[in-house]
Amino acid sequence: MSISVLGAGAFGTALAIALGGNGPVTLWARDPADMQTTRQNAKRLPDCPFPDTLQVTGDLTDTLTAQTILLALPLQQLRGFLQEHVADLNGKALVACCKGIELSSGVGPVQIINDVVPNAQAAILTGPSFAADIARGLPTALTLAAQCEDTAKQLQQQLTTRALRLYRTTDTIGAELGGALKNVVAIACGTAMGAGMGESARAALMTRGYAEMQRMAAHRGADPDTLAGLSGFGDLTLTCTSEGSRNYRLGLSLGRGEAFDASTTVEGAATALAVARVATDAGLDMPITMAVAGLLDKTLDVKEAVHSLLNRPLKEE
Ligand SMILES: NC(=O)C1=CN([C@@H]2O[C@H](COP(=O)(O)OP(=O)(O)OC[C@H]3O[C@@H](n4cnc5c(N)ncnc54)[C@H](O)[C@@H]3O)[C@@H](O)[C@H]2O)C=CC1
Ligand SMILES: O=C(CO)COP(=O)(O)O
């Protein structure tokens, strides 16, 4: 079955390169010319040549004929993109390859697909992976979640490659929450490390951040085991401990009081604000998320954020 990847940023390009190892794949880019000439994405993934099976196009109609469509756009852009092309997306398997919670609605990518294209088979591909690792063919394991078991099985087969091993689940809520919420915790961890608070502080933030992820997941009806898997705990571990993560690097900048390039895709920033709103409305205790949201909307500085976390009433673990 044919595959298209929409969005030729780092992740979309990396997935297209990996899937090109299985057979023909089409990558849609808003600005394809340089990639068509050089057969690489020099801006996002230098030195990762495209296989011959990968076709790059700027014509969306070429790509919307595929039965399986991977959506590798930033989460906050997903709804608008789907709304624009809904007529061509009905009946397709639409695989969200983005991580986040929408600011305007408080929901994640699978719910956005279900809202806008209810006749599609909605799925999400998520978990611990840096685009550069996937593009280089390094071993990686991800979660493929789709509400329909048959769709999950079919996509698992189709999107597994030589080095990319997919585990499947039907718990799309848990899978999308894990990928979205770990980015917020990664910003917190980066901030702690940037401000010189040390690795013990980071371990505390990861662990208590994970407790917040579990709380939100329970509120939304997710399976706690999903959060313990690749899409939750797995991605939390990678993102909170590596300077390869843009979310972690944003945190480092906040902690050091340095500027950060606003054009970088950092999903955790909007997601922190969205989740803080959801948590407040639902009465969920998510102090790390609230502290990150406070840092980002500049209602707290780093000192105040730390104070807000350490001076809460003592409690059972
Ligand atoms: N880079 C990575 O290592 C990984 C990224 N992801 C996720 O993949 C998603 C995309 O991230 P990246 O590819 O890294 O970001 P990126 O910044 O490298 O690329 C984003 C791409 O989306 C395109 N785009 C933006 N707005 C658009 C719109 N309205 N319509 C069409 N195209 C649009 C841009 O032109 C760009 O090609 C994010 O949700 C991220 O969390 C997931 C796993 C790994
Ligand atoms: O999601 C990722 C790793 O799994 C990529 O992390 P960043 O978006 O923080 O770079």
Tokens 């929409």 belong to 6
Distances (CA, A) of 314 to 137, 146, 311: 47, 40, 8
pLDDT of res. 262: 95
User: Pocket around ligand 1: residues whose beta carbon is below 6 Å from it?
Assistant: 7-12, 30, 44, 72-75, 77, 81, 97-100, 129-131, 265, 267
pLDDT of res. 128: 98
Is ligand 2 within 6 A of the CB of residue 140?
A: no
SS3 content of the chain, % helix, strand, coil (to 5): 50, 15, 35
- Of the CATH numbers 1.10.287.610, 1.10.1040.10, 3.40.50.720, 3.40.50.300, which one belongs to the domain with range 180-311? 1.10.1040.10
Residue 129 assigned ligand-binding role: yes
pLDDT of res. 54: 98
Ligand 1 centroid – CA 6 distance (Å): 10
Q: Which residues of the chain have pLDDT under 70?
A: none
Nearest ligand by distance to the CA of 97: 1
pLDDT of res. 10: 98
Hey, which of 98, 130, 189, 233 would you mutate to test ligand 2's pocket, going by the most ligand atoms within 8 Å of its Cβ?
A: 130
Residue 67 backbone dihedrals phi, psi, to 5 degrees: -80, -30
Assigned CATH topology for domain 3-170: Rossmann fold (3.40.50)
- Give me the residue spans of the domains in the chain: 3-170, 180-311
Pairing status of strand 25-28 against strand 3-6: parallel
Is ligand 2 within 6 A of the CB of residue 178?
A: no
* Sheet with strand 68-71: strands edge to edge: 54-57, 25-28, 3-6, 68-71, 93-96, 121-126, 140-146, 164-169
Residue 9 assigned ligand-binding role: yes
pLDDT of res. 62: 84
Hey, which of 4, 5, 11, 83 would you mutate to test ligand 1's pocket, going by the most ligand atoms within 8 Å of its Cβ?
A: 11
Q: Cα 210–212–218 angle (5° rounding)?
A: 105
Please name which of 92, 95, 149, 147 lies closest in space to residue 124, comparing C-alpha atoms: 95
Is ligand 2 within 6 A of the CB of residue 247?
A: yes
Nearest-atom number in ligand 1 for the CA of 12 is 13
Hey, which of 59, 177, 265, 271 would you mutate to test ligand 1's pocket, going by the most ligand atoms within 8 Å of its Cβ?
A: 265
Ligand 2 centroid – CA 65 distance (Å): 29
Q: Which residue out of 43, 92, 182, 298 is catalytically annotated?
A: 182
pLDDT of res. 27: 98
Decide if 153 is catalytic: no
pLDDT of res. 312: 97
Nearest ligand by distance to the CA of 270: 1
Nearest-atom number in ligand 2 for the CA of 99 is 1
